[in-house]
């Protein structure tokens, strides 16, 4: 079988002029606080001006979709990063919260046409969550890429 050779164009992540919102869950703040710092730092490195980054907080990951929806009704954002951390406990609560947050954010994104970046770590334990803190930086890069993709359509 013949392999198809594909060359993807380079991705230019220039966030100049973009208006970016970050919503961070305070629950598991020792994780989400680091994610927020990494995301904010990466956005600045990618050219987003600090005055064009707005940060909001909610109690936990479950509340992310509602605030995202409310913000997009009142203000213009090119993209929203939604950061949270849900860890496994003695019950299935973590699965319910993670699923609700993911499905809620997806619905808001599809309803509004504005990219919402799912930066919710779903981990078995503290160590797994700590190993995934870099997700904050990855989400910032994804946010700029998606905002630019949709801006050019």
Q: What is the pLDDT of residues 98-127, one digit of tens each?
A: 889 999 999 999 999 999 999 999 988 999
Positive or negative, the Cα torsion across 43, 44, 47, 49?
A: positive
How much is the pLDDT for 17? 95
93 is catalytic: yes
Helix, strand, or coil here: 57?
Answer: strand
Name the CATH superfamily, with its identifier, for domain 20-151.
Lumazine/riboflavin synthase (3.40.50.960)
Which residues are part of a known binding site? 27, 61-63, 85-87, 90-91, 118, 132
SS3 content of the chain, % helix, strand, coil (to 5): 50, 20, 30
Q: What is the pLDDT of residues 10-34, one digit of tens each?
A: 678 999 999 999 999 999 999 999 9
CA 110, CA 40: separation in Å to the nearest integer?
25
**Mean pLDDT for the stretch of residues 81-91:** 89
Which residues are part of a known binding site for (2S)-2-hydroxy-3-oxobutyl phosphate? 90-91, 132
Query: At residue 42, what are phi and psi to the nearest 5 degrees?
Result: -65, -40
The rounded mean pLDDT for the chain is: 92
How much is the pLDDT for 95? 82
Residue 84 predicted with pLDDT over 90: yes
The pTM assigned to this predicted structure is: 0.91
Which residues are part of a known binding site for 5-amino-6-(D-ribitylamino)uracil? 27, 61-63, 85-87, 118
Domain ranges of the chain: 20-151
How much is the pLDDT for 8? 67
Higher pLDDT: 12 or 142? It is: 142
């Amino acid at each position: 079988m013949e392999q198809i050779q594909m060359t993807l164009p380079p991705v230019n992540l220039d966030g100049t002029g973009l208006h970016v919102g970050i919503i961070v869950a305070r629950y598991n703040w020792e994780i989400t606080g680091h994610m927020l710092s990494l995301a904010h730092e990466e956005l600045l490195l990618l050219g987003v001006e600090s005055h064009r980054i707005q940060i909001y907080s909610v109690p936990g990951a479950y509340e992310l979709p509602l605030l995202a929806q409310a913000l997009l009704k009142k203000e213009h954002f090119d993209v929203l990063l939604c950061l949270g951390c849900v860890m496994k406990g003695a019950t299935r609560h973590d699965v319910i919260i993670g699923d609700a947050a993911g499905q809620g954010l997806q619905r808001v994104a599809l309803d509004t046409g504005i990219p919402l970046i799912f930066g919710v770590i779903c981990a078995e334990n503290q160590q797994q969550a700590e190993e995934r803190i870099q997700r904050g930086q990855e989400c910032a890069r994804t946010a700029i890429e998606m905002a630019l993709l949709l801006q050019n359509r």
